[in-house]
Structure 1
Amino acid sequence: MDKHTLWSLRLGYSAKQAKTIEKIGLKKFLEQSFSTELDSKIPDFLQDSPKSFQELKEIRKTLNTGNPEAKREMLKKDNQTSGEMKAWWIAKMNEDEFPLREKMTCFWHNHYVATFQKVKVNYWVFQHNQILRENAFGNFKTLTKKIIQSNAMVRYLDNVDNQKGKLNENLSRELLELFTLGIGNYNEQDIKNGSKGLAGLGIGEENAVYRKFFEDNESFTYLGKNGNFKVDEMVDIIFEQPNIPYLITRKILKWFIYDNPKEELVIYYGEYFKKMNFEIKPLLTKIFTEEFTKNNAGSKIKNPLEYSLQLMNELNITNPNGKLIAFFLKEQGMDLFNQPNVKGWDGGNSWLTSQVFLQRNNTADLLCNGKNLNQGQKDMDENSMKKQNPNKLLSVKLNWNKDGNNKEIIAELSNRLLFQTDKNSQADFEQILKYDFDSKTDGSENAVMRLFNFILKTPEFQLI
């Protein structure tokens, strides 16, 4: 696979940025990715959603005194809004000129999990997503403080039920186990004591706030320090621990490059991260520029986003149906805003079970034949159906060298799509695109599309 295409896929979701990376170089590409402007505008689909705790209470009060039909309509509307949010995010991933911010936002989204199903307030989930986007390239410690004090997080991890005399340890546990240090770098007493420091931290108007009546203000020992600590002080203490950088450097390496990163790489980049005071931008620059020089293609299974958006780009499908893509992602085990548990998507081999592989092959057949994803799926709401009929044929067009012979066209597609080929693969490809292939004849487009579809179903195409 061409190196610039490989890194376009790794730092985004398709080969769209390959020529830009080749033209301006990886380092300049990263600098421009880091400097992308942020859109803080609240999307239109959230305009009627409750945005303050007071608005939410008023709606719930109305529902509790209303009829069952009103409750069903409210639930239906919330589900439609959730679907709109998924489509909105997929469009950003697909359309941004420099999609690294969205890819890093998705990384953090799977690190600090807070789902629609548990939070139940779309605006809080949007706020959570915006915090991740705004701080995607910022400081790890700062981001941790902000996200722990988001309404979505205190709701998702039940800290709304954490109060003096009736402690809930969920947020305290995941703060240490999944968000920062990892198992083995704290003890159970740290979790119990940490829940005291988090007691009373609950829903606020814009972010979580402490409720004095529910706080626990007794001193406790936390990771070897004694005092009456609250959330910011607790995070500061966590970031003084010697093993703090390695959990996150391992996960970044897994998200972008290696399903199984070597431990020496995890430690090497972790030490640099600590030296940079947990600034994410220099860490990413170092990882990407140094790993770019190595021969590491084929070291990671494509996640469903990378797979589906790459196909959309290769087939030049304009304005793809975001809700259908979201449904495909769900079928593939990558339901945006709805991970299966607080650990998030496992990644790696979970992206290529026999069922997932079969779904990918079926999807390749649909798209290569100009048919939409998940044709006729029932989760589409009426407005979406009117705007974009999922059963309508797509306009698909594959780019290939019209002046090339069969071997030149095979080489072009292989270099663009596969990290490696061998003699057997070449023989299979030449069975489809035979030696006497002529691009001027009727049916030549169909022949190349058949080759493309065949390549999509190879094990090598599933890897980057």
Structure 2
Amino acid sequence: MDRRAFLTAGKKKQTDLHIQPTVVAGRTTTGLNLYAGVWTKTEVTHLLKRTMFGSRLSDISYFAAKTMNEAVDELLNPVSPLPTPPLKDYDGVTGATTPDTSVPDGTTWVDNVNNDGTIQSRRRASFKKWWMGCMLQQDRSIREKMTLFWHNHFATETVDVGNANFLYKHANLLRTKALGNFKQLVRDITLDPSMLIYLNGRLNTATAPDENYSRELQELFTLGKENNPNYTEADVKAAAKVLTGWRVDNTVNTFHSYFTSSRHDATNKTFSSFFGNTVITGRTGTTAGDLELDDLLNMIFAKNVEVSRFMAKKLYRFFVHYDIDAAAEANVIDPLALILRTNNWEIKPALTALLKSEHFFDAMNQGAMIKSPIDHTIALCREWEVVFPDVATLYADAYGMWNYVMTVAANNQQNIGDPPNVAGWPAYYQVPQFYELWVNTDTLPKRNQFSDLMIGNGYSRNGKKIVIDAVEFTKKLTNPGDPNELINEVFDLLFQIPISQSAKDQLKKDFLLTGQDSDYYWTNAWNIYLGAPTTANYNTVNTRLRGLYKYCMNLAEYQLA
């Protein structure tokens, strides 16, 4: 699904406001110059599909009324409160040695200590459902998309961590610091209880140093593997010694990490020439762990070109495209890395430059990304205005519905809370396929089965149902009585690449006109329904709309964002 087959040239270049792109052969030669092109619903939809999960009609209209600068600024500056914590939607008694009776049903468990294995298993399930709910109910900002970005970057797995209270604390850290300082986030993650458990940091002692986290800190979290020269095995061992002595406490409701000086290696740690033969002085006492950690991070981030380029590429591949060719390196990655360095590792300035750039809005980068399973499922529900039970009054039903959507995404290779390993999901890093890995002979039929179900009978639970209401959705279109305007608006919402007029005309004839040639076959049917919404009239328009929308969601282009 490479867009080179659809587009052979990018949009016309705009006036250079920032950095003149280097003329280098590549997929597109646009760069981080401020985008000065047209600002239509096409550009708004592209921006929302990349920064949120899908682009709802109401969100498109909202941001189309703003300038591009205003839209990006608002997306990058969330004002809505953080999501309320997960609730107890589970049986807190059956099978448990220590029943969860102190947490009333429908209230949060995140501050309650209970280390019973059965209860923790059910809390982990509650946590995962809740996270899907956070994405389904997201505000008009990039916060939830960035939380997923960091979840993939600092990957942990729920079963390996075990304690759901730690898992919530970890997710809340990612969400709270999603648009903050990268260096500070690395420090916070280093001492995060979930990470200390997942990568054995809590087992890392002076007498038995564990290299797991120190390796991933350098290889996956900050420096990457592509540098030449790069960190060495000796650096991994030395960093492991710096990080000795940290532990976790799940016996009090703060669920925190803490330092034990007697478990810390107080010797000097010497690093390779890659790090300028730095020696981190060994310390003793209660502050030793913090002081040496700061020294370690200062040393790593002193390799500022390597760290900034590594993170610039991670951001680029998540929000723009997986192909980083010579032109993208020169015109986007290098200047984006410079922005990270000159802004002292603040993430927001880099995202601002990227999302406002001519490169981001380049026609070659629109509709050029295959939706992840989470993006596919969440965006489908949001764009089609699927109504879920109100969690405030029907929390068990809401969690049950969120669990269904979560299961669909998990069956398509993206299980929230559980990337397959510490490197995250392969589709974000595996050369050369990257997110082409999301779609194969197993997952594509499953995607279509989900969309078929949602536009058909929906998913039912306890007498409640989530389903695409084709008629109610269509009522929100600008002029649903005109079959041409209806087709155009729906296609603009669903697809980010051009669909031929002949294809649109054929679909209009096949579904809305039921094989006839005149547009009034649809217009009359729609107006008759509006004037007399009887069951028979409703079924007439509903059948046609469901057939059209089902077909659209089965097109290959629907998998692109």
Task: Give the TM-score band, short-chain normalised.
Answer: 0.7 to 0.9
Correspondence for 1:324 among 404, 425, 428 = 404
> What is aligned with 2:542?
445
> What is aligned with 1:454?
551
Letter of the aligned partner of 1:368 in structure 2?
A: I
Show CA shifts across 1:180-215 (max 9, x none): 000133111111111110112221464322222211
Q: 1:369 to 1:148 in 2, by over 3 A?
A: same
> What is aligned with 1:258?
321
Aligned pairs for 1:201-220 within 5 A? 201-204=246-249, 206-220=255-269
**What is the CA distance between 1:424 and its match in structure 2?**
6.6
Q: Does 2:341 correspond to 1:299?
A: no
> What is aligned with 1:337?
417
Correspondence for 2:79 among 6, 17, 36 = 36
Query: Residues of 2 paired with 1:417 and 1:147: CA distance?
Result: 37
Q: 1:420 to 1:40 in 2, by over 3 A?
A: closer
Query: Residues of 2 paired with 1:245 and 1:42: CA distance?
Result: 33
Correspondence for 1:276 among 317, 322, 343 = 343
Q: 1:369 to 1:95 in 2, by over 3 A?
A: same
Query: Residues of 2 paired with 1:150 and 1:165: CA distance?
Result: 22
Correspondence for 1:9 among 49, 53, 65 = 49
Show CA shifts across 1:401-453 (max 9, x none): 43213x43332222221122236744652452343352233523322321221
Show CA shifts across 1:104-125 (max 9, x none): 1111011111221101000101
Letter of the aligned partner of 1:361 in structure 2?
A: N
Correspondence for 2:438 among 346, 351, 356 = 351
Q: 1:51 to 1:96 in 2, by over 3 A?
A: closer
Correspondence for 1:436 among 492, 501, 518 = 518
- Tell me which moved more, 246-255 or 428-437: 428-437
Q: Does 2:453 correspond to 1:366?
A: yes
Q: Which portions of structure 1, spanning 4 or more consecutive aligned residues, are displaced by more than 4 angstroms?
A: 46-52, 392-396
Query: Residues of 1 paired with 2:237 and 2:510: CA distance?
Result: 64
Conservation of the 8 A alpha-carbon contact between 2:373 and 2:414: yes
- Matched residue SS, 1:333: coil
Query: Residues of 2 paired with 1:39 and 1:2: CA distance?
Result: 30
**What is the CA distance between 1:389 and its match in structure 2?**
4.9
Unmatched 5+ residue regions in structure 2?
A: 1-40, 89-102, 283-291, 390-400, 428-434, 526-536
Aligned pairs for 1:164-183 within 5 A? 164-183=206-225
Q: Does 2:495 correspond to 1:413?
A: no
Aligned pairs for 1:216-235 within 5 A? 216-222=265-271, 223=275, 224-228=277-281, 230-235=292-297
Show CA shifts across 1:126-170 (max 9, x none): 111111111111100001001110111010001122111311110
Query: Residues of 2 paired with 1:355 and 1:300: CA distance?
Result: 19
Greater Rg by CA: 2
> What is aligned with 2:146?
104
> What is aligned with 1:398?
473
Q: 1:206 to 1:235 in 2, by over 3 A?
A: farther
- Tell me which moved more, 178-187 or 420-429: 420-429
Q: TM-score, normalised by structure 1?
A: 0.86
- Matched residue SS, 2:208: coil
Give 1 or 2: higher helix fraction.
1
Query: Residues of 1 paired with 2:379 and 2:110: CA distance?
Result: 36
Query: Residues of 1 paired with 2:503 and 2:124: CA distance?
Result: 43
Query: Residues of 1 paired with 2:154 and 2:206: CA distance?
Result: 25
Q: Does 2:237 correspond to 1:192?
A: yes
Conservation of the 8 A alpha-carbon contact between 2:86 and 2:108: no
Q: 1:362 to 1:43 in 2, by over 3 A?
A: closer
**What is the CA distance between 1:340 and its match in structure 2?**
0.6
Letter of the aligned partner of 1:270 in structure 2?
A: A
Q: Does 2:172 correspond to 1:130?
A: yes
In percent, how many aligned pairs have the same letter? 22
Aligned pairs for 1:377-392 within 5 A? 386=462, 389=464
- Give the count of matched residue pairs: 432
- Tell me which moved more, 80-89 or 40-49: 40-49
Q: TM-score, normalised by structure 2?
A: 0.72
Query: Residues of 1 paired with 2:68 and 2:129: CA distance?
Result: 29
Conservation of the 8 A alpha-carbon contact between 2:152 and 2:425: yes
- Matched residue SS, 2:279: strand
Query: Residues of 2 paired with 1:164 and 1:220: CA distance?
Result: 12
Conservation of the 8 A alpha-carbon contact between 1:101 and 1:136: yes
Conservation of the 8 A alpha-carbon contact between 2:373 and 2:438: yes
- Tell me which moved more, 450-459 or 28-37: 28-37
**What is the CA distance between 1:25 and its match in structure 2?**
2.5
Show CA shifts across 1:318-341 (max 9, x none): 116211111111111111111110
